[in-house]
Amino acid sequence: MSADRRGLLDAPAETVAPLLLGAVLTRIGEDGPVSLRITEVEAYSGEGSDPGSHAHRGRSRRNEVMFGPSGHLYTYFTYGMHVCANVVCLPEGRAGGLLLRAGEIVEGEELARARRGEGVPSRDLARGPARLAVAMGIPLSDGGSDLFAAPYRLELPSAPAEGYAVSPRTGVSGEGGTETFPWRFFLPHEPTVSPYRRHVPKRRPSAS
Question: What is the pLDDT, as a whole number, of residue 147?
Answer: 98
117-175 tens-digit pLDDT: 999 999 999 999 999 999 999 999 999 999 999 999 999 988 888 899 999 988 665 55
6-21 tens-digit pLDDT: 899 999 999 999 999 9
77-130 tens-digit pLDDT: 987 789 999 999 999 988 899 999 999 999 999 999 999 999 999 999 999 999
Question: What is the pLDDT, as a whole number, of residue 177?
Answer: 39
Question: What is the pLDDT, as a whole number, of residue 172?
Answer: 65
Residue 163 and residue 160: Cα distance in Å, rounded? Answer: 9
CATH 3.10.300.10 fits 2-186, yes or no: yes
37-72 tens-digit pLDDT: 999 999 998 777 777 777 776 677 788 898 999 999
Task: Answer left, alpha or beta for residue 71, where phi above 0 means left and psi between -120 and 50 means alpha.
Answer: left
pTM equals: 0.87
Task: Give backbone dihedrals phi and psi of 205, rounded to 5 degrees, phi first.
Answer: -60, 140
Adjacent-strand bridge partners of 28 = 33
